[in-house]
Amino acid sequence: MTTSYSDLHSGHRFYDEIMYLANKGIVKGYPNGTIRPDEEVTRAAAAIMIGRALDLDGKQRATTFSDVSANQVASGYIASAAAEGIIQGYPDKTFRPNETVTRGQMAIFLSRAFNLTVEVNAPFTDISSAMASYTHIKRILAENITQGYPDNTFRPNEKVTRAQFSAFLARALNDDFKVDLPVSYVKDTSNIYQYHSNENGNFSFVYADEEYPNWNLWNVNDEFGGSYQIVERQAEVGYLLGAPYSEYRLMLANPVKTGHTWKIEYGDEILATYKITATDLTLTTPAGTFTDVVEVTDQDGMVTYYAPNVGIIKAVNGEEVLVELTKVIVPFVN
């Protein structure tokens, strides 16, 4: 039997995901026939939805939380989710069932609920390893549960609606709803990248681990003891590279499609013209073999190659190699 709701129409972005969960009894509407898709989801509602999805014991009962009594509808699922280590309370022994779930909390809940362990580099500019949700965001990203936003942010403190939570949960349960990983050309901040330049010799990119809003800040150290800093980010317009508190350049513009052309202008002057001439190359440098490499050619014939999650791996002018990635050092994690 197919469920329907007066305030949910087929044009809603997450209509299919909500209906999938509804027909499984994981989400339920209100007595007046509504589902309220754009209402913020509470911690209690999240516990109920996850509990139903995992077939946890939802029988109402006493809990260890001072603000969740046995007569509360969600008490059984809250108790079960807490016992499974999926949702935890606060240091003051409360659960705060009516508090709204944030995107960061959502990542934690789903990562724990589905025992996710695989992580990928998260290119988002607004998350850091100091956050409790950091590893969980990387895990739901690896599981194709989230993409983040086009401006390369995750917005971990943004509140989640019932429709959004339904979409995330549906993706965790059914591969048909999973989303593609966002393609980013920003370097993994946990690695060190070594290059060779025909003009400047050897140099390396080492993450500065300093606060620089919405950008990744790198220390660039050369073999002669010199050092300077570079910032990079993946934005809605594409991959950007520049100097701190100064100018930056659009190195690889969206959409990343063969034939796409863009210009770098300064006032009335055109400084450079770029064109994507390939998007699916396999290229080997001393650092290894890279796939899905994008080739960009400028008006002077210089060709630069970009690899996902690495950025520039090689630049040539005719037969001359101008710069090349020679090594990626991945820190050992015990």
Task: Look at residue 10 and tell me if it is in a domain.
Answer: no
Mean pLDDT of 76-97: 95
Please say which residue of 177, 212, 229 terminates a domain: 177
**250: pLDDT confidence band, cut at 50, 70 and 90?**
very high
**Tokens 């980010």 sit at which residue?**
233
Both 210 and 293 in one domain: the answer is yes
Q: What is the pLDDT of residue 130?
A: 87
Instruction: Look at residue 184 and tell me if it is in a domain.
Output: no
Structural contact between residues 152 and 184, judged by C-beta atoms closer than 8 angstroms: yes
* Domain identity same for 169 and 40: yes
* Best CA proximity match to 121, nearest among 154, 157, 158: 154
From the list 310, 316, 305, the residue with the least C-alpha distance to 193 is: 310
Last residue of a domain, one of 177, 201, 226: 177
Can you give the residue range of the structural domain that contains 307?
Answer: 192-329
9 falls within a domain = no
What residue type is assigned to position 319 of the chain? E
pLDDT > 90: what percent of the chain?
80
Check pLDDT > 80 for residue 3: no
222 plus 266 within the same structural domain: yes
Q: What is the pLDDT of residue 333?
A: 52
183 inside domain: no
The DSSP bridge partners found for residue 262 are: 274
Shared domain check, 202 and 163: no
Q: Please report whether residue 96 resides in a domain.
A: yes
Domain count, the chain: 2
Q: Give the pLDDT of residue 334.
A: 47
Q: Are residues 203 and 145 in the same domain?
A: no
Query: Is there a domain that residue 117 lies in?
Result: yes
User: Are residue 135 and residue 219 in the same domain, yes or no?
Assistant: no
Q: Are the C-beta atoms of 150 and 125 separated by less than 8 Å?
A: no
- Measured between its terminal Cα atoms, the distance across the chain in Å is 52
Residue 6 lies in a domain: no
Q: What is the chain's mean pLDDT, rounded?
A: 93
Same domain, 25 and 56: yes
pLDDT category at 95 given cuts 50, 70, 90 is very high
| Residue of 315, 307, 296, 305 whose CA lies nearest to 183 | 307
How does DSSP assign 234-279, residue by residue?
A: EETTEEEEE-TTS-EEEEEESS--TT-EEEEEETTEEEEEEEEEEE
Say if residue 257 is in the same domain as residue 291: yes
Residue 175 has pLDDT above 90, yes or no: yes
Strand order through the sheet with 192-197: 248-253, 238-242, 227-235, 216-222, 201-207, 192-197, 320-329, 311-317, 302-307, 288-298, 269-285, 261-266
pLDDT given for residue 277 in this prediction = 97
For the segment 185-236, what is each residue's pLDDT rounded down to a tens digit?
A: 999 888 999 999 998 899 999 999 888 888 899 999 999 999 999 999 988 8
Q: Are residues 164 and 215 in the same domain?
A: no
Q: Indicate the residue among 145, 177, 209 that finishes a domain.
A: 177
The answer to whether 27 and 17 are in contact (CB under 8 A) is: no
Q: How far apart are CA 322 and CA 71, in angstroms?
A: 71
In-domain check, residue 257 = yes
Q: What is the spatial distance between Cα 53 and Cα 39, in angstroms, rounded to a whole number?
A: 20
> Based on the domain organization, do 21 and 153 belong to the same domain?
yes
> Distance from CA of residue 178 to its chain's centroid?
14
- 184, 252, 254 from 295: Cα distances, Å: 15, 10, 13
pLDDT of residue 22: 94
If one counts every other C-beta atom within 10 angstroms of the C-beta of residue 29, the result is 17
Q: Are residues 106 and 235 in the same domain?
A: no
pLDDT of residue 2: 52
The structure tokens listed for 8 are 């949910």
pLDDT higher than threshold 50 for residue 1: no
Q: Name which of 22-36, 91-105, 154-168, 320-334 the model is least confident about.
A: 320-334
Task: Give the Cα separation of 144 and 25 in Å (integer).
Answer: 24
